[in-house]
Chain A
Amino acid sequence: MRSDDLTHPSARTRRRWLTGVAVLTVLAGGLVYLIYGQILKYELLSAESESIPSTPRLAHFADGLARPAWVEHCAACHGANLRGDPKRGVPDLTDRDWLYGSGKISQIEYTITYGIRSGNPKARNLAFMPSFAHPNDDKEKLSPLSPAEIKDVTAYIFSLEGRKADPAAAERGAGLYADKGACYDCHTPDARGDHDIGAPDLTDDVWLYGDGSEASVFQSIQVGRAGICPAWIGRLTPAVIRALAVFIQDHSQTKVAQNP
């Protein structure tokens, strides 16, 4: 009887040993992988958030953690390419314009955690754009504007951007901006917006809703705006939320601006 005959008792014993060693190796490898993953998660959460992009190991880990979560939870609104949808007021996350904050990871992380007008008590929900073509029943008691007044405000906004606008209409619009419309209250007197409350800068050429045409600006003032982002606390783990914040900043031009 040959010893390499697999039915030979010694060959069977060897095969069992090899199988056992292989299984143990796979199990040990899996365990090491899991432990390493947990260590990285711990490091990701313990690290100073803004320092993560400059730590390649953590940045890479965050990217791997964020991608499937992005596809599953975020892409439906923000798009797989993060470019948003101006028809629905979903912001483009690849530019350097931020509604809330200035694109810091900790700020993005807060927005993902608690959302925007999400119903979570800690959500970003201090302000919304009222509808000026309807009787306003909210606490602010803002007066509605007439169509002509909305056109004047639109002309004023165009003049801020240096676009062609009727000077007389723009002047009337400036008065409405600072008085009856109370636009200054959120968008600030110089119309540069307020990133603490999510009021967009009206002097740049970035448009959250529509294409910046007269019709779309008129529409925004007429019907009002109040976009929503869900609160992900309790639905996603803290590590995934932070990874998504890193992922989003990585895809924005803020990263370029901060780390030229």
Chain B
Amino acid sequence: MSKSKSPRDPDWLWQSFTRTNPRRAFILLGTGAVLGLLIAGFGLFTSKGTTVDFVPPEDVALVNQQPILQVDFDAQLQSVYDLTPDKASKVQKRKILHDMIREEVYVQRGLELGMPESDPDTRNALVSSVEQQVLADITTDSPSDEKLRAFYDTHRARYASEGSITVTDLLVATEAKARDAADALQHGMTMNEAIAKFGLKDTKKTSGEEFYFAARLHLGPALFAVASALKANQTSSPVKSADSFHVLVVAQNTPPVNMNFVEAREQVLTDYKNEAEAKLQANEEKFLIGRADILVADRYKRYLP
């Protein structure tokens, strides 16, 4: 007859699993906890991130897990040899692959060395890239016609064809001569006759037919305002400048014509996006500066915006 074991007997602890044993439960719980902590600790302190051991089909290589895309490889092949992948030789492909892997390891080394912190070219390229990335959604957005039409309605004055004008700017010293010359020109005297008779001088500020913007630049805003108000074959009254008088002779004037929405759509789209981009860029800048921890020296605080 076998001797029955008591709960205090160490052997009994691991033999009768059909009966509850608080001591055994405590030991198992503790062991599980310690094991869990060990696994977690090992994972935490030896972590290398997720790695893959195969190259996805859309890539030609992984360099420290950074993909070199097939599409970039093909473009590089095209760029260097002017060849598509089906026409390139093994040697050419090998060269491109080597170049791209080399570039990638150098980029990664540059990051390790903190090039974005110190190299001006890298910094400029980064700024430019981030600006472009911020705007990418707007750049490629296709706003609805309703939105564009609303924008067009709000800024209708912008949408006109560029006017053109052919104007001659004649200069004379006295107001009396200027008035006589203007009268004569108005009544059919030719410009050459008027120049000879009244001693007018062609300033030659303009040359032939010019767009409004060019004529405005050449004549200045005041004279352009007078000229653009004249019709073809009209002559202006004398216009006083610092020490002389101008007579403007307009041979042709085609004022800007307002464009309807359909005609202006492309320009409206450009303006709409430009405005949205400017807003977004300003907001992004505000956000980035706002979240940055910026300390400014006391003597420079007065320059803060």
Measured CB to CB, the residues of A under 8 A from B are: 41-42, 44-46, 48-51, 76-77, 87-89, 101, 104, 106-107, 109-110, 113, 115, 117-122, 133-135, 144, 146-148, 222-223, 228-231, 238-239, 241-242
Contact = CB atoms under 8 A, between A and B. Distances in A.
25 contacts: A44-B57, A45-B70, A107-B84, A109-B71, A110-B74, A113-B71, A115-B140, A118-B140, A119-B133, A119-B137, A119-B139, A119-B140, A120-B132, A133-B211, A133-B213, A135-B213, A146-B209, A148-B209, A222-B162, A223-B266, A223-B267, A228-B140, A231-B136, A238-B69, A239-B58
A51 B87 CA distance: 11
A88 B208 contact: no
Nearest to B77: A106
B71 A106 contact: yes
Contact of A110 (B75, B207, B211): B75
Nearest to B82: A196
A117 B132 CA distance: 10
Interface string B106-137: 00000000000000000000001100110111
Contact of B71 (A110, A134, A147, A222): A110
Contacts of B72: 122
B142 A147 contact: no
A46 B57 contact: yes
Contacts of A76: 142
Interface of B: 56-58, 69-72, 74-75, 78, 84-86, 128-129, 132-133, 135-137, 139-140, 142, 162, 164, 207-211, 213-214, 217, 262, 265-267
Nearest to A124: B75
Nearest to A88: B266
Contacts of B136: 118-120, 231
Could you say which of B69, B75, B86, B265 has the most chain A C-beta atoms within 10 Å of its C-beta?
A: B75
B31 to A, nearest CB: 40
A166 B97 CA distance: 53
A155 B71 CA distance: 41
A87 B261 CA distance: 13
A36 to B, nearest CB: 15
A228 B128 CA distance: 19
A50 B208 contact: no
A3 to B, nearest CB: 45
Given A134-B162, A146-B210, A106 B58 contact: no
A41 B56 CA distance: 11
Give the interface SS of chain B, mostly helix, strand, loop or mixed: helix
Given A76-B142, A120-B136, A146-B210, 12 more contacts: A42-B57, A45-B57, A49-B85, A87-B265, A88-B266, A109-B71, A119-B135, A121-B133, A146-B208, A146-B214, A228-B139, A229-B140
Contacts of A88: 265-266
Contact of A48 (B86, B209, B211, B266): B86
B139 A106 contact: no
A242 B267 CA distance: 33
Contacts, number: 103
Could you say which of A76, A115, A146, A222 has the most chain B C-beta atoms within 10 Å of its C-beta?
A: A146
Contacts of A120: 132-133, 136
A66 to B, nearest CB: 16
Nearest to B210: A146
Contact of A45 (B58, B74, B265, B266): B58
B12 to A, nearest CB: 47
Nearest to A235: B140
B86 A146 contact: no
B95 to A, nearest CB: 17
A246 B78 CA distance: 18
Nearest to B79: A196
Nearest to A148: B209
Given A42-B57, A109-B71, A121-B129, A147 B164 contact: yes
Contacts of B267: 223
Nearest to B125: A121
Contact of B132 (A113, A121, A222): A121
Nearest to A46: B57
Given A41-B57, A119-B135, A148-B208, A50 B85 contact: yes
A51 B162 CA distance: 50
Nearest to A225: B266
Contact of A50 (B84, B140, B210): B84
A135 B217 contact: yes
A144 B70 CA distance: 42
A109 B74 contact: yes
Given A88-B265, A135-B213, A106 B140 contact: no
Contacts of B84: 49-50, 104, 106-107
Q: What are the 4 tightest A-B residue pairs by CB atom distance, in nearest-first order?
A: A230-B140, A119-B136, A238-B58, A45-B57
A69 B268 CA distance: 28
Contact of B78 (A44, A107, A223, A228): A107
A107 B76 CA distance: 11
